[in-house]
Amino acid sequence: MSDLFRYFENNPGRLIHKWLHYFGIYERHFSALRGRPIQLLEYGVFNGGSLQMWKHYFGPQARIIGVDIDPRCAQLAEPGIEIVIGDQEDRATHMRLKEKYGEFDIVIDDGGHRMRQQLVTFQEMYPAVRTGGVYLAEDLHTSYFPEWDGGMRRPGTFIEYAKSLIDQMHAWHSRTADHKPDLVTSTAYGLHFYDSVLVIEKNAVSPPSQAATGIPVFEVGALEYFLLAMSAQHKGQIDTAINYCRRALAIEPAASDALSLLAKLEAAQATKAG
């Protein structure tokens, strides 16, 4: 049984309301940040119990901040737990949070779960998640409930928006003019979809690059020979790299990458010989 679930089952503090399968997801994505001086922001305070659970789980160095529209929640502040009263649908609430706290290691959206609330919160707060941090949105099943502005494949729901993040993650490979890399492309290291939960692991993502190593067994294409040439060049094996480049060009004589690499390699070989 995970530490978080054990805490929940024996909850010594205020009321917590969570779906049971979320506990495994929390452990999987939050455990690396335990015991560290993190800032955790949770939208949706309710009775304050989940904030106490985070305080217990992450330890005394963590700063836990809860946001709720209900002014009664202000009284739930305690050492290590701060409360901000505000509407998550109002961009000014998020601006205030960013001005006061800067960046966050973990942002959890367990607020009102209406489409606009989830969208505005993601748009404003994903950029405020620190590199190495986590954005976690809960209760995405409301995207399927008409009474929550949802509906199956209905444009404008958070789940439809979340699907578009998959496209953005792959924008490096786009062949479409209006599909360009953006903040999500260069920082969403992992998009994890679970029932009703989306977790985004934020980290620096470089444009993807490929390589080939080893000895071809069958005749392969110009791309593989070019990649083998790149790997050989990387290891300082100029003659081998030239050989692979020539094999690539024998298959595709106009391959510009291979032509320019060959020119570079031949120049390096001449310098070495001279």
Ligand X SMILES: C[S@@+](CC[C@H](N)C(=O)[O-])C[C@H]1O[C@@H](n2cnc3c(N)ncnc32)[C@H](O)[C@@H]1O
Scanning 129-207, the segments in alpha helix (DSSP H) are 158-169, 183-187
Toward ligand X, which CB reaches closer, 43 or 226?
Answer: 43
Minimum separation from the CB atom of position 212 to ligand X (A): 49
Toward ligand X, which CB reaches closer, 16 or 223?
Answer: 16
Contacts of 11 by beta carbon, 8 Å cutoff, 6+ apart: 49, 53
Q: How far is residue 128's CA from residue 96's CA, in Å, rounded to a whole number?
A: 12
In the block, tokens 């958070």 appear at 158
Contacts of 157 by beta carbon, 8 Å cutoff, 6+ apart: 115, 143, 144, 149, 150, 151
Q: Which residue is nearest to ligand X (CB)?
A: 112
Using CB under 6 A, count the residues that bind ligand X: 21
Whether 29 is catalytic is no
Find the catalytic residue in 17, 21, 113, 170. Answer: 113
- Asked if 150 interacts with ligand X (CB under 6 A), we say no
- Asked if 110 interacts with ligand X (CB under 6 A), we say yes
Q: How far is residue 268's CA from residue 77's CA, in Å, rounded to a whole number?
A: 67
End-to-end Cα distance, the chain: 69
Contact pick of 87, 149, 160, 224 for ligand X (by CB under 6 A) = 87
What crossing angle do the helices spanning 238-251 and 256-273 adopt, rounded to 10°? 150
Contact pick of 88, 142, 168, 233 for ligand X (by CB under 6 A) = 88
69 in Cβ contact with 90 (< 8 Å): no
Minimum separation from the CB atom of position 166 to ligand X (A): 26
Q: Which residues pair with 108 in a beta bridge?
A: 42, 136
- Asked if 129 interacts with ligand X (CB under 6 A), we say no
Judged by CB under 6 A, the chain residues 189 through 208 that form the site for ligand X are none
- Local structure of residue 156 (DSSP, 8 states): T
Say how many residues make up the chain: 274
- Asked if 111 interacts with ligand X (CB under 6 A), we say yes
Contact pick of 26, 39, 40, 49 for ligand X (by CB under 6 A) = 49
Q: What x-and-dash track marks residues 4-43 binding ligand X by CB under 6 A?
A: ------------xxx-----------------------xx
Residues that bind ligand X (CB under 6 A): 16-18, 42-46, 49-50, 67-70, 87-89, 110-112, 117
